[in-house]
């Protein structure tokens, strides 16, 4: 018997009775629901529930499959034993990369880093320290060639998720569309404020009193994807641009780690360009 709850997610056209039908299926399988979150938006219904591991997994799978077939609902069952494979991409700024690697190494995150991909060599020593393959894909004079090599590398590695840990190049639409819902970026501002390059410099010039960080799913629009997680910290007129970057780095670390954890625990569901997060 597992020592963790089974996770069930459901997406369906919104209608009365969905939760009742789902709860009935769990009951018929001999299970007990220990946690449930639900949300409806734009005519679509989503929910996430946890089922105590005392239930027969085979029976639960059978009843959920029957429910899905009967109503045409999209239902997924996660046993919690899966170890998602992730690729982390970085450039020269490494605080988010090092933070994630440390968290994963001590068992805080239930995933495996199968490679670190970078357009620079700065992250190679970290990759060697954590014994993770490092793939260097420099841009050179042909940006399109480098982007093609990134696409090919991701295709070969075939990870469950790609994490852009301060990877500082804009990816083309053919890559972002291929990894829709499976690529997370950390942006060093509280979006939608200061999207794009140099947000700390622009925040300092504007004299803001709060800076933040935003983790979001990557789309073709620059820093416009569905937001997963955000946080802020207060600053003052005494803080220089360098101070903002230093203090903001701590927020970036925690926000990206939180977003990765939410994704791995199947707590994020996307509605258009918005998310609901069952946390």
Decide if 47 contacts 25 (C-beta within 8 A).
no
**Is 223 among the residues known to form the active site?**
yes
Question: What values do phi and psi take at 119, rounded to 5?
Answer: -85, -5
Which residue bears the tokens 């620079």?
120
How do strand 112-118 and strand 227-234 relate by DSSP bridges?
unpaired
| Catalytic site residue from 99, 119, 223, 239 | 223
Decide: helix, strand or coil at residue 246: helix
CA–CA separation, 212 and 129 (whole Å): 30
CA–CA separation, 275 and 196 (whole Å): 21
Which residue bears the tokens 């696409």?
151
The structure tokens listed for 82 are 């899966």
Q: Please give the span between the terminal C-alpha atoms of the chain, in angstroms, as a whole number.
A: 25
Inter-CA distances, 248 with 20, 55, 166, Å: 45, 45, 13
* Count of Cβ atoms closer than 10 Å to residue 206 Cβ: 9
Residues with a known catalytic role: 223
């Amino acid at each position: 018997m597992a020592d963790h709850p089974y996770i069930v997610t459901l997406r369906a056209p919104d209608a009365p009775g969905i939760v009742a039908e789902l709860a009935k299926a769990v009951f018929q399988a001999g299970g007990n629901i220990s946690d449930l979150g639900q949300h409806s938006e734009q005519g679509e219904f989503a929910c996430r529930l946890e089922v105590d591991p005392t239930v027969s997994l085979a029976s639960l799978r059978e009843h959920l499959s029957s429910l899905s077939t009967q109503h045409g609902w999209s239902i997924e069952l996660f046993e919690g034993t899966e170890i998602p494979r992730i690729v982390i991409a970085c450039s020269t700024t490494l605080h988010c990369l090092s933070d994630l690697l440390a968290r994963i190494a001590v068992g805080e995150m239930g995933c495996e880093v199968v490679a670190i991909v970078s357009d620079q060599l700065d992250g190679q020593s970290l990759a060697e320290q954590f014994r993770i393959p490092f793939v260097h894909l420099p841009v050179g004079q042909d940006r399109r060639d480098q982007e093609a090599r990134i696409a090919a590398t991701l295709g070969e590695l075939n990870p469950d998720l790609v994490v852009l840990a301060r990877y500082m190049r804009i990816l083309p639409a053919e890559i972002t569309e291929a990894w829709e819902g499976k690529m997370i970026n950390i942006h060093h501002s509280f979006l939608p404020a200061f999207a794009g390059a140099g947000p700390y410099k622009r925040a300092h010039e504007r004299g803001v009193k709060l800076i933040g960080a935003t983790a979001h799913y990557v789309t073709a629009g620059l820093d416009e994807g569905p937001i997963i997680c955000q946080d802020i910290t207060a600053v003052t007129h005494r803080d220089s641009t360098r101070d903002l970057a230093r203090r903001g780095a701590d927020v970036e670390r925690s926000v990206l780690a939180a977003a990765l954890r939410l994704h791995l625990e199947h707590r994020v569901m996307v509605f258009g360009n918005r998310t609901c997060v069952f946390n």
